[in-house]
Structures are given as C-alpha cells and as structure tokens.
C-alpha cells in the first residue's frame, strides 16, 4: 500500500493541445479568351511562412517563478487524469483539488482505488480488498502543491531546470515523504507555462506518470468530496 499511496498522490495538470490554423482557399481565376500574345511573365512565388520560433531559453530563476505563478493562480481545480504506473498499467478518473490540502482522486472502473485528503490526513481505500489506510498529508511527496501559497524554493529542493523538446522540466526532491526521499519532474509547456505532466519516483524507485486534461480552475468542488469517512 505504501507504493500505491505515493503513486496515487502524483497530482497532475493537463496538456493543452495547440489549435491548428487553416488557410482559406483562394478562388480560382476565370479563364480568359484572347488573341495569342507573348507569354505573361511568371509571378513570383510567395515566400514560405517562417517556421515557428523555438521557445527561448528559460533560466532556473524564471522557471521557478513562472511555476509558482501557475500553481498560485487558482486554489481550486477539477480535471480528468490519466495515470501510467510503474508496471505500465493505465488508470484514469476525475481529480478534484481545493487548497489548502484537500484533494480527491476518483478512479474509474475497473480500478478500485480511492484517494481522499481532507487537508490534514490522506485516506487510501481499496474497494475490492475492502482495506483503507490513513496517512498524514505531510508524508506525501506532493504535499507542497496543496499548500495555501506555493513556493518551490522554500517547500522542496529544486535540483535542476532543463529545456528541451519535451518542455521546461523542473526536477525537485522531497526528503520528508513516507519511506524516504521522493523525486518529482514537473514538465511545463514553454509557450504558456501550463503544467503538462509530471513524473514521480517514490523512495522505492518506482515511477508514475500522470497527465491531466479538461481542467477547470474556476469551479469550486463540493466540500463533501473531501470528507473522510473512517
């Protein structure tokens, strides 16, 4: 259950799909009947549109600043999530968040897990096995994401910031999680700095990747979703 808890609490945000612009077709020119004449000079070929510019380099300080701004933009969130576990198993469901400290993962069938935090404790329930475990929220690897105000530099150790084709990745370390040290990679879209995905490596070395989509940061979740029934 320890490994399952650490994987399930990998709170993720969505991938924003860029919109695709389409050029309107030009109307065909009508044919013209005329006496033979010298061939018309060829029209110059229109210049090809410039390729999209590559995202500019983002240094560590700016990346952390923009990440904090993203997380602190709204205290509430609902979204659909997809989770890929260390065994390659795919799970999905609905995520509800209300800071400070309240989160609920509702896994869709056939998954039987349920994860609920009321702001102080985290309940991990397996409906199939009819078991449940309770942990303090401070023991979870992503507790800093549930704080009232998030500051990555103060809440965890920022180890590295990299920029590549995958996006802007902020690698962080948290030594205070249950069972030891956890490592998290937060991957942002460099164009708008929305969090696309993250990967969490728990103290046992197991990786979990979570992506979020259909995010809504305006609607306040029902408070009853975060109630723990022991």
Residue ranges covered by each domain of the chain: 2-14+58-219
pLDDT of residue 159: 94
Positive or negative CA dihedral for 187, 192, 194, 196? negative
> Per DSSP, which regions of the chain are E strands?
76-84, 90-98, 102-107, 113-118, 121-126, 131-136, 157-164, 167-177, 180-188, 195-201, 207-216
* SS3 call for 123: strand
Instruction: Let me know: does 122 contact 140? Beta carbons within 8 Å.
Output: yes
pLDDT of residue 82: 94
- Report residues of the chain scoring pLDDT below 70: 1-56, 144, 230
State the number of CA atoms in the 13 A half-sphere of 166 facing the CB. 10
Lookup: tokens for 160: 């590295």
- May I ask the CATH architecture of the domain 2-14+58-219? Clam (2.50)
Burial label for 177, CB within 10 Å (0-12, 13-18, 19+), is buried
pLDDT single digits (tens) 62-116: 999 999 998 898 899 888 999 999 889 999 999 999 988 899 999 999 988 889 9
- Which residues are CB-contacts of 191 (< 8 A; sequence separation ≥ 6)? 18, 55
Lookup: tokens for 225: 């979703």
Lookup: tokens for 133: 């475990």
pLDDT of residue 49: 40
């Amino acid at each position: 259950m320890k490994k399952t808890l650490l994987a399930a609490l990998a709170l993720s945000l969505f991938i924003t799909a860029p919109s695709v612009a389409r050029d309107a077709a030009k109307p065909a020119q009508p044919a013209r009947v005329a006496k033979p004449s010298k061939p018309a000079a060829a029209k110059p070929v229109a210049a090809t549109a410039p390729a999209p510019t590559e995202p500019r380099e983002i240094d560590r300080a700016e990346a952390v600043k923009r990440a904090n701004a993203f997380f602190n933009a709204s205290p509430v969130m609902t979204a659909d999530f997809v989770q890929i576990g260390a065994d390659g198993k795919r799970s999905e469901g609905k995520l509800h968040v209300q800071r400070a400290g309240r989160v609920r993962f509702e896994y869709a069938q056939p998954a039987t897990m349920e994860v609920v935090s009321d702001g102080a404790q985290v309940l991990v329930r397996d409906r199939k096995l009819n078991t449940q475990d309770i942990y303090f929220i401070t023991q979870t690897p992503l507790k800093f994401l549930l704080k009232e105000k998030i500051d990555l530099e103060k809440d965890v150790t920022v180890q590295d910031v990299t920029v590549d084709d995958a996006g802007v990745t902020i690698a962080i370390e948290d030594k205070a999680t249950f069972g030891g040290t956890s490592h998290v990679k937060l991957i942002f879209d460099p164009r708008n700095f929305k969090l696309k995905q993250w990967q969490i490596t728990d103290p046992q070395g197991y990786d979990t990747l979570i992506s979020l989509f259909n995010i809504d940061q305006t609607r306040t979740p029902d408070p009853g979703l975060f109630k723990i029934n022991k």
